[in-house]
A = this chain, B = another copy of it.
Amino acid sequence: MASFSSSCLLLLVVFVFVFDIAIGITASIPSYFPGGAALHSSLKKSGKKIPYETHYFPQNLDHFTFQPRSYKIFNQKYLINRKHWQKGAPIFVYTGNEGDIDWFASNTGFLLDIAPKFHALVVFIEHRFYGESLPFGKHSYKSAKTLGYLNSQQALADYALLITSLKHNLSSDASPVVVVGGSYGGMLAAWFRLKYPHIAMAALASSAPILQFDDITPWSSFYDAVSQDFKDASLNCYQVIKASWAELEAIAAYKQGLVELSRSFRACKKVNSIYSARDWLWEAFVYVAMVNYPTEANFMKPLPAYPVKEMCKIIDGSPPGTTKLSRVFAAASLYYNYSRGEKCFAIENQADEHGLHGWNWQACTEMVMPMVVTKESMFPPFSFSYEEYADECMKSYGVRPRPHWITTQFGGTNIEQVLKRFGSNIIFSNGLQDPWSRGGVLKNISTSIVALVADNGAHHTDLRGAVEEDPEWLIQQRKQEVEILHNWISQYYLDMKHST
């Protein structure tokens, strides 16, 4: 049996198991971007209605070549809420990320909350190759020939065309457009403002790890941050988790180990590998760190306020003599079963319900975010090698990553110097509970490229709809965002007045 401390390749495989990706490879860590069809299906199941009209835009397949096939048209889904809209007023556009757009809309209540103040139109655009926006229908994920068109540059160009056309159709060409996004959607929002300043006059990029590429951010930072969250909640909790992997590993040595593991982990079907259990636990810890929200919320799954603390309470509060593995299992159960609806856990095939995972393709082409786990982390160590990563991607998709393309295309290195005298009107908001914040912009770059950092914030907390229980700091953060946007928009109208 391979040790937990073996190379990143093992981890790649492990993540494949977590997400049960048919295509055979995964995006290593970036798979933790909370998109994907998993949530889509849970949303559909919930039957929750979102307050948006659904539309479809005839979008070009390929904006950057002019071959006959480039002109193929597909239907790109977008959502509109015009309840508060007045012609000429601002348009808030959510630049959709790697998942069904309905799901993002229902988890980004902030935009509708603030729309009345601005008389704003609110638009959510679905990212190509996700949700219903499939350029080749059910064949979209067939091979690199079809998937080749799934990337950030094409997505940004989609947004540029769609927004321009929409404004024109609304006879509101002069409306200021603010692009907004969280996570990868936040990266897209920031990049869109930088690449298409003539279309969006401002961006609110929440939890956007645009510096998680190349060597800009230390490769260990993500898992260090997850570990820190748990350590901050309870040093003992962190130590128990850290030590639990050895207990799990030891199980594989027993003849009946996996049977016993399946029983104690309440697996619906017998677990065939301890790696499955490891990933199942691992995923719970990572996602809970990301969504360590200050209020009860249902983003990835329904969870109580500050779920990291709640998990640690379980670990710390278990009766004396409880094994470490039992404690971490109990903690993970909080993540998987807070709503208490699960009779057993689909440890190995939980991802069957997740559907499409375009992010794995994106991570195997341009979105290469190298990550490692060091000995200081609470996870089993692993390393990263560009070469091995590329080999795996080649094996799975028939193409090799372009690991430095994102920084060539969008920058990131020396961002403070580059943007000190270039660009404007971008808010980078981050919550330090979120491990992705380590790859975000955490310091003001200029008077109009600003960073809002919330010590207790998690993954794009600010974009969630306001609830009564919101803590004061969150109320203040959102207020600050509204004020900044308000100032920029006022300036826009003033400039417009002067230039005509």
Instruction: Give A contacts to B, CB under 8 Å.
Output: 60, 62-68, 70-71, 144-145, 147-151, 153-154, 157, 160-161, 164, 194-199, 365-366, 398-400, 402, 405, 407-425, 448, 491, 495-496, 499
Contact A160 B64 (CB under 8 A): no
- Tell me which residues across on chain B come within 8 A of A149, comparing CB atoms: 65
Q: A198 contacts which of B145, B148, B405, B418 (Cβ < 8 Å)?
A: B418
Q: A408 contacts which of B154, B164, B405 (Cβ < 8 Å)?
A: B164
Bound form: Cα–Cα A145–B71 in Å: 12
- Tell me which residues across on chain B come within 8 A of A144, comparing CB atoms: 66-68
Q: List 5 A-B contacts (CB under 8 A).
A: A64-B65, A65-B148, A66-B147, A66-B402, A198-B415
User: Smallest distance from the beta carbon of A55 to chain B beta carbons, Å?
Assistant: 19
- Tell me which residues across on chain B come within 8 A of A423, comparing CB atoms: 197, 422-423
Q: A70 contacts which of B148, B413, B491 (Cβ < 8 Å)?
A: B148
Bound form: Cα–Cα A410–B157 in Å: 11
Closest to A161 in B: B408
Contact A66 B399 (CB under 8 A): yes
User: Smallest distance from the beta carbon of A125 to chain B beta carbons, Å?
Assistant: 15
Closest to A423 in B: B422
Contact A400 B71 (CB under 8 A): yes
Bound form: Cα–Cα A16–B123 in Å: 46
Contact B66 A63 (CB under 8 A): no
Bound form: Cα–Cα A196–B408 in Å: 8
Contact B421 A425 (CB under 8 A): yes
Q: A366 contacts which of B66, B366, B400 (Cβ < 8 Å)?
A: B66
Given A65-B154, A422-B425, 16 further pairs, Cβ under 8 A: A63-B153, A64-B64, A64-B153, A66-B147, A66-B148, A66-B365, A66-B366, A67-B145, A67-B148, A68-B398, A161-B408, A194-B197, A197-B411, A198-B407, A198-B418, A417-B496
Contact B160 A409 (CB under 8 A): yes
Bound form: Cα–Cα A56–B424 in Å: 37
User: Smallest distance from the beta carbon of A453 to chain B beta carbons, Å?
Assistant: 20
Contact A64 B67 (CB under 8 A): no
- Tell me which residues across on chain B come within 8 A of A419, comparing CB atoms: 197
Of A198, A409, A425, most buried by chain B (CB within 10 Å of CB) is: A198
Contact B421 A64 (CB under 8 A): no
Bound form: Cα–Cα A207–B161 in Å: 28
Name the 10 nearest CB pairs between A and B, nearest first. Answer: A198-B411, A67-B148, A64-B64, A66-B365, A65-B148, A197-B422, A198-B418, A417-B499, A66-B148, A421-B424
Contact B151 A65 (CB under 8 A): yes
User: Smallest distance from the beta carbon of A478 to chain B beta carbons, Å?
Assistant: 24
Closest to A65 in B: B148
- Tell me which residues across on chain B come within 8 A of A62, comparing CB atoms: 64-65
- Tell me which residues across on chain B come within 8 A of A413, comparing CB atoms: 198
Closest to A61 in B: B65
Contact A408 B160 (CB under 8 A): yes
- Tell me which residues across on chain B come within 8 A of A63, comparing CB atoms: 64, 153, 405, 409
Q: Taking A422-B197, A423-B423 as contacts, is the C-beta distance between A151 and B66 under 8 angstroms?
A: yes
Q: A157 contacts which of B154, B400, B409, B424 (Cβ < 8 Å)?
A: B409
- Tell me which residues across on chain B come within 8 A of A154, comparing CB atoms: 64-65
Q: Taking A64-B151, A421-B448, A499-B414 as contacts, is the C-beta distance between A195 and B198 under 8 angstroms?
A: no
Bound form: Cα–Cα A423–B161 in Å: 22
- Tell me which residues across on chain B come within 8 A of A157, comparing CB atoms: 408-409
- Tell me which residues across on chain B come within 8 A of A491, comparing CB atoms: 421
User: Smallest distance from the beta carbon of A310 to chain B beta carbons, Å?
Assistant: 41
Bound form: Cα–Cα A413–B174 in Å: 11
- Tell me which residues across on chain B come within 8 A of A67, comparing CB atoms: 144-145, 148, 399
- Tell me which residues across on chain B come within 8 A of A71, comparing CB atoms: 399-400
- Tell me which residues across on chain B come within 8 A of A398, comparing CB atoms: 68
- Tell me which residues across on chain B come within 8 A of A416, comparing CB atoms: 499
User: Smallest distance from the beta carbon of A399 to chain B beta carbons, Å?
Assistant: 5
- Tell me which residues across on chain B come within 8 A of A421, comparing CB atoms: 424-425, 448, 491, 495
User: Smallest distance from the beta carbon of A112 to chain B beta carbons, Å?
Assistant: 28
Bound form: Cα–Cα A415–B365 in Å: 34
Of A65, A366, A495, most buried by chain B (CB within 10 Å of CB) is: A65
Bound form: Cα–Cα A181–B375 in Å: 52
Bound form: Cα–Cα A248–B154 in Å: 51
Contact A68 B399 (CB under 8 A): yes
- Tell me which residues across on chain B come within 8 A of A399, comparing CB atoms: 66-68, 70-71
